[in-house]
Amino acid sequence: MERTLVTGGAGFLGSHLCDALLNEGHEVICVDNLITGNMDNIAHIQSDRFHFVKQDISQPFTVAGSLDNIVNLASPASPVDYYAHPVETLKVGSFGTYNTLELAREKGAVFFMASTSEVYGDPLEHPQKETYWGNVNPIGPRSVYDEPKRFSEALTMAYHRTHGVDTRIVRIFNTYGPRMAINDGRAIPNFLYQALKGEDLTVYGDGSQTRSFCYVSDLIEGMVRLLKSGHSDPVNIGNPIEMTLLEMAEKILQVTGSRSKIVFKPLPEDDPKVRQPDINLARQLLGWEPKVKLEEGLRDTLDYFRKSIDTHQAEP
Q: Which residues bind ligand UDP (CB under 6 A)?
A: 78-79, 174, 186-187, 190, 202-204, 209, 211, 245, 267-268, 271
The values of phi and psi at residue 35, to 5°, are -75, -35
The rounded distance, in Å, linking the Cα atoms of 197 and 280 is: 40
Please identify the residue of the shown chain whose CB is closest to the bound ligand UDP: 186
Min dist CB 245 to ligand UDP, Å, is 4
Nearest Cα residue to 165 out of 69, 61, 30: 69
Nearer to ligand UDP, 21 or 121 (CB): 121
Min dist CB 267 to ligand UDP, Å, is 6
Nearer to ligand UDP, 72 or 194 (CB): 194
Nearest Cα residue to 75 out of 63, 88, 61: 88
**Residue 70: count of CB within 10 angstroms of its CB:** 24
Nearer to ligand UDP, 67 or 298 (CB): 298
> Which among 82, 120, 145, 176 is annotated as catalytic?
145
Q: How far is CA 19 from CA 117, 254, 285, in A?
A: 24, 31, 24
Nearer to ligand UDP, 52 or 204 (CB): 204
Beta bridge partners of 6: 30, 71
Min dist CB 251 to ligand UDP, Å, is 13
The rounded distance, in Å, linking the Cα atoms of 240 and 24 is: 27
In the residue annotation, 145 being an active-site residue is answered as yes
Min dist CB 91 to ligand UDP, Å, is 20
Active site residues: 145
